[in-house]
Structure 1
Amino acid sequence: MSQEHDYHRLVEKVKELPWYVEEFIDHKRRRMSSSTLLNYCHDYIIFIDWLRTEGFYQGNRSECPMSVLETLTPKHIESFLSHLELQLGNTKRTVNRKISSLKALFHFLQNIAETDELEPYIYRNVLAKIDFNNVKETMETVANRIEGKILHNDEYEQFRQFVAADYGEQHQDNKKMYHFHQKNRERDTALVSLLLGSGLRLSEVVNLDVDDVDFKKHSVRVIRKGGKEQFVYFSEQAMVDLDEYLRIRKDRYRLPKNEKSLFVSTAIGPRKTSRRLSNRAVEKLIEKYAVAFGKPALTVHKLRHSFATRYHMENNDVPKLKKHLGHSSVQTTMIYTHMTDKEMKRAIDHMDRMDSESDE
């Protein structure tokens, strides 16, 4: 399966950053996926732009000298972190991820990279003095937070049916929205059905090629975190919806014979060309349907949670679920046992109420 899309985006994004960041990205490329490194690049762009705004450096983003990094104090970094949280609206968990990105870069510059004279690129690493935000949560707390934002029971098929038909009926009076839905409903239904029927990550779905789908085995070939290849099974309904989409895919989207991407965009531009749906395009697609469906908190990742919760309820096999989701730690998978425990309690409470009513 090709990840050329993320790779080319990474190549372009690195051009916006200083030479030493490019060297760091090259150092990490063997061990980290292009999508992860893209996130690093976005974090570094935000950081360097903040340095420019605050007057630490004046000039082009790509020319920010490494010497600026050694002038920063812990107070400066704390000010940047406050900017992330208060001005940009990042959660403490998101801020921690950006701290991790910066720590990785500064560690590389101080402890791994060397000049021709065998000296470190920087001697002073201010990020080594910065602690992560304390955002520890119990698995039950995480489960409770997620539980209200996912699909339950009949909502799985209701949401799929909404994407397949009801959304169009809801917008019949808006010709533009109605026709756009009619053109893309097979694609969108197949996408939602695959997410709900497999629990794939956003990047895994976006990077799928047509040749990655095995209809006989009901599985798709994906590259998981860390570059590991895995065949992930999907549901019978997802197979039906994928088959319907593939029947119209080539002609509907005017695709050349060599177009491998499974999920493609509507033909746009003067040449009316289609291309692989991007991460952001899929996120916006799900957001559009979620809002119209009445569950605006529903996201691609929440569809993954929905699948995992349903899988555990029906199979109660944590090791298999861990493998299916591609989790590196069973502790992550255990979140779904807490979510289903709550559902079980609700069911028992309902039974208690029914018993008391029958006794009256």
Structure 2
Amino acid sequence: MTPRRSALAGLWLSALLCGGAAAAEDGPWQAPPLAELQQAADAGGAAAQYALAVRLEEGSGILQNFTLAAEWLARAAAQGHAGAQNRLGQYFHEGLGVERDPETALRWLEQAAADGQPQYLFDLAAVLEQQPGGGARAAALYQRAAEAGHRDAAVSLGVLYQNGTGVAQDLERARRLYEGPAAAGHPRAQNNLGLMLVRGEGAVQDYGRAAELFRAAAAQGLRVAMGNLGVMYENGFGVAVDEARAAELYRQAGQGGAAGAAGRALPASVYDPRLLPPGTGPEELEQLRSGARAGDPVAQFMLAWLYLQPEPDTVPQPQLQEAARLLGASARAGYPAAMANLGLMYFEGRALPQDYVLGYMWLVLAGTAGFDAAPQLGAGLSPRMTAAQIAEAQMMAAARAARNTAGN
């Protein structure tokens, strides 16, 4: 399967999962339990309709379903709910749960941005920036959002000034726009500022500080920064030459796990935080193997997780295959952490045929079953997929859940 990255891939999900402004404009209102939330949404409450759409989008205690989420967003948006208007615009831009419709997307994003929330200004600007002749208006919107403290907007505005897109090129201004977010730990700002320092653009060339910035961004999982830091080590720019370290950074940048829209690396495996880490002594391993043979899904998961712990490129293929078999058995028995790890193996094609649809299906089921890491993993991996693939995975998850319910 060929990976696909859409223009706004991951933006709306990252805003949701990071608890951005889009989820907070309604003040102290708190969503009730799911049954009450459904009742309030059916009764026409815009806040409840929006909250239900978010639950459907997240797959939080309910099967993830973008099509149903879009329907509830449309109801809330029609009542003037700015958060719903903003998110519905992103749905139409991406073609998630609805047919892709750029004009309708812009209409909803414009209505949301009229609310003045920095996140909504940023989201509209991110779409306008991609349109011919949209750079100037995008810059104005980024400026408004940045003045309100939106760091992503400041960085995006810096990129426009650095490249002269929609504004006159101004390298010094670009550098200043990166400085604040970089000092606050923003990885994209750190990487971009590092590149300017390497090139001597808008600032005196400073390899040492550039390497520090790349290192800080790489430590947060930004893969492009890992690659840039690798160049520094390979050539001795600001650091001592270290070809082994450079090679490791290149490997991490290119193959170090799945990555989301922002290029942040995702883990090859995830553990269940409710469990103590398994022991690796002979007696402890034998107990796990015995439990796994007896069909204990927890033992199957823990043993599989141990098999996956070496560096991804060093795990022997028979060990990978056994891990996949154990995770499959545990996942089919309903163990959420096994579902999530099985999904990761399908995404990466590790000991299994690479299949994004099956991988995402298992992540949807894991999230619905209460595995907290699953929605974030799905958000990071979904940019590889088309909207049709995501919809198919959600339908498959619903069908499997229905079969399991009927079997009970």
TM-score over 0.5 (shorter chain): no
- Give the TM-score normalised by the residue count of structure 2: 0.28
- Give the TM-score normalised by the residue count of structure 1: 0.31
Which of the pair has the greater relative contact order for Cα pairs under 8 Å at 6+ separation? Answer: 1
